[in-house]
Amino acid sequence: MNATMMPYPLTLTHILERSGKLFPKTAIVSRMPDRSLQRHTYDDFYRHARALAEGLIRLGLVRGDRVATLMLNHYFHLGAYFGIPAAGGVVHTLNLRLAPMDLSFIENHAGDRFLTVDDVLLPLYEKMRAGTKFERVIVVPLTGQPVAKEFVDCEALLRESVNDLTYPDLDEREGAAMCYTSGTTGVPKGVLYSHRALVLHSLAMLFADCAALAERDVILPVVPMFHANAWGLPFAAPLVGARLVFPGPHLDPESLLDLAEQERVTIAAGVPTVMMGIADAVEKYAGRWKLLPGLRLMVGGAAPPEALIRRLDKHGIRLVHAWGMTEATPLATWCNPMPQMECWDADAKYEVRSRQGRPLPFVDLRGVGAEGEVPWDGKTPGELQLRGPWIASSYFNSPDEQSKWSDDGWFRTGDVATIDPDGYVRIRDRSKDIIKSGGEWISSVDLENALMAHPAVAEAAVIAVFHPKWQERPLAVVVLREGVTATAQELRELLADRFARWQIPNAFVFVQEIPHTSTGKMFKAQLRERFKDLSADAESHFACRCLDTMA
Ligand code: ADP
């Protein structure tokens, strides 16, 4: 066979080299725990990541070793994102909101050899320490306090490097990063990302019909760097030379908006709950922040209610919607209205924007029902299944966990969706959240979306509760905004316009707060447990009472 192109590997070291050569002066800004802003450049980052790689090799890292990070979103974590793979290792981001026991389970399962930890997170490390087997613990002295002798001081490790790193001869299929699912629906499972997957995923983020990331962008990843690679932003930004602005531990809406204003942020990313906080703040303090016109908020992880998209639009902030998962590096779809939709009326356009979007190039998707593949008719629900170069082919160190892959090799997402003829996906539920009433399926996501359009509703979750006749019936758990009220009857009437009678929740309960998972999603499993003894017909008894005060 004739030779075709060069066998040039798609590795993260190319991105690192490119950022150092082409964007040396571009800024990376990090908010530190003491609220001060630290400024670095891509030149600093380039040297830092290479020095870290050298240091890790001196400590004994060998190809394929996992190096865990227990770190906030900042410049030093970005250095680990690239320095560890540049040494031939795998950067394994640990979810610092998990319980210490879960963290030690994950560390053991992943077989991490080293840990890099922010000094401010040492108390958390101490809690998980007994169950872990790290050979060396590298401490990043964010506070400037001296590092205890039992640990490796990251600054000292970097200082000892002499800039003589030769990258290992990396294969693009080797592991470069690793992340465990946050365990919303089961035991956390590890996904090992190849260099190739991360590079291709980064390139996909540059498409105009995806995140359209470019050198002129200023990116604020609010999504934690332990949550599915911070949705790919830390890998894609150095590829194009976009400025990065990291929030550190200061994730309250006002701090984020201050940062966005001050650093002229063009795109920020986070889950709906974070963005609801942003919407509340811009409404409460109208005119306080002079944000860049056209600021985009990339939202995923859970479905943003359509009402949120509308609220933000009023303040010149554009919510852009994406869907993905840990097993998909994470992006699989992105929602942009098609050009011919521009002339649609406002309501129709908002409806499109609340969909999860169309598949990214090289992501194949299909919906599968009991009878096989479902048509792309926007009506027939099926389990969404994926295939592509950045979709996991197995879980790490779990040879028996094959049930998530179909016999013909597609990844079974566990999300129930409809796909319309243009290829727009609409997630209707996670299969574990589905409400089956008398054999008919009710979409909790659709009901939540409608409830959150009520001006008095801050957040709403709809869950299944047992019913002797219908097996399950929907129960709406509602958080009201401060100072306003809505009755169950009002909410029922709101839904009656859009839903069939049998789809409307039997009961509405009003609570102070809906619990969230470690990655900021509504924790429906916990709600189901809490309300499991509540009869779905208990409406009149429970309707207007605050269950939190009854506990
Ligand atoms: P976990 O499975 O532990 O929650 P992930 O963050 O990987 O961890 O979760 C992926 C899941 O999050 C998807 O399968 C889907 O159910 C949900 N999800 C992600 N993005 C969206 C979105 N835009 N709309 C609705 N659901 C979403």
Q: According to the model, what pLDDT value does residue 540 have?
A: 36
Q: What is the pLDDT of residue 469?
A: 86
Compute the distance from residue 523 Cα to the ligand 1 centre, in Å: 12
Q: What is the pLDDT of residue 546?
A: 37
pLDDT at 548 over 90: no
User: 325 alpha carbon to ligand 1 midpoint, in Å?
Assistant: 5
Run of H or E residues at 37: strand 37-41
AA letter at 383 = E
Cβ neighbours of 433 (radius 10 Å): 24
pLDDT digits (tens, 9 = 90+) for 304-318: 999 999 999 999 999
CA-wise closest residue to 457 among 511, 528, 393: 511
Residue type, 296: R
Q: What is the pLDDT of residues 89-105, one digit of tens each?
A: 999 999 999 999 999 99
How many CB atoms within 10 Å of residue 292? 16
Average pLDDT of span 472-480: 95
pLDDT in tens, 205-227: 999 999 999 999 999 999 999 99
Answer yes or no: is the C-beta of 191 below 6 A from any ligand 1 atom: no
* Ligand 1 contact, 270 CB (< 6 A): no
Going by C-beta distance under 8 Å and a sequence separation of 6 or more, which residues neighbour residue 96? Answer: 70, 71, 72, 121, 124, 224, 226
**Structural domains of the chain ordered from first start:** 12-195+212-248 (3.40.50.12780), 434-546 (3.30.300.30)
Per-residue pLDDT, averaged over 96-123, amounts to 96
Query: Which band of pLDDT confidence, cut at 50, 70 and 90, is reported for residue 544?
Result: very low
Q: 547 falls in which pLDDT band (50, 70, 90)?
A: very low
pLDDT in the model for residue 470? 87
8 vs 330: CA distance, rounded Å: 24
Residue pLDDT, tens place only, 488-500: 999 999 999 889 9
Contacts of 4 (CB under 8 A, 6+ apart): none
Say how far residue 449 (Cα) sits from the centre of its chain: 20
For residues 177-201, average pLDDT: 90
The answer, yes or no, to whether any atom of ligand 1 lies below 6 A from the CB of 430, is: yes
**pLDDT value of residue 285:** 95
Closest CA to 101 of 134, 124, 77: 124
Counting atoms of ligand 1 from 1, which one is nearest the CA of 430? 16
- CA of 358 from ligand 1 middle (Å) equals 16
Upper half-sphere CA count for residue 174 (Cβ side, 13 Å) = 24
Q: 334: closest CA among 362, 312, 353, 308?
A: 353
Confidence of residue 478 (pLDDT cuts 50, 70, 90): very high
Beta bridge partners of 269: 221, 298
Residues 6 or more apart whose CB falls under 8 angstroms from that of 415 comprise 383, 384, 427, 429, 430, 431
Q: Read off the pLDDT of residues 400-450 as tens digits, 9 standing for 90 and up.
A: 888 999 999 999 999 999 999 999 999 999 988 989 888 888 999 999 999
The percent of residues above 90 in pLDDT, for the chain, comes to 89
Q: What pLDDT shows up at residue 163?
A: 93
Higher-confidence residue of 482 and 14: namely 14
Minimal-distance CA residue to ligand 1 atom 26: 302
Residue nearest to atom 10 of ligand 1 (CA): 325
Spatial separation of the C-alpha atoms in residues 262 and 107, rounded to whole Å = 38
323 CB less than 6 Å from ligand 1? yes
Distance CA 162, CA 180 (A): 34
Per DSSP, 379 falls in state S
**Residues paired with residue 475 on neighbouring β-strands, in sequence order:** 463, 507
Contact at 8 Å (CB) between 451 and 481? no
Is the pTM of the predicted complex or chain greater than 0.85? yes
**Which positions are catalytic?**
181, 327, 436, 441
17-73 pLDDT, tens digit each: 999 999 999 999 999 999 999 999 999 999 999 999 999 999 999 999 999 999 999
As given in the structure block, the two tokens for residue 527 are 């709600």
The reply to whether ligand 1 has any atom less than 6 angstroms from the CB of 10 is no
Q: Is the peptide bond before 293 cis (omega within 30 degrees of 0)?
A: no
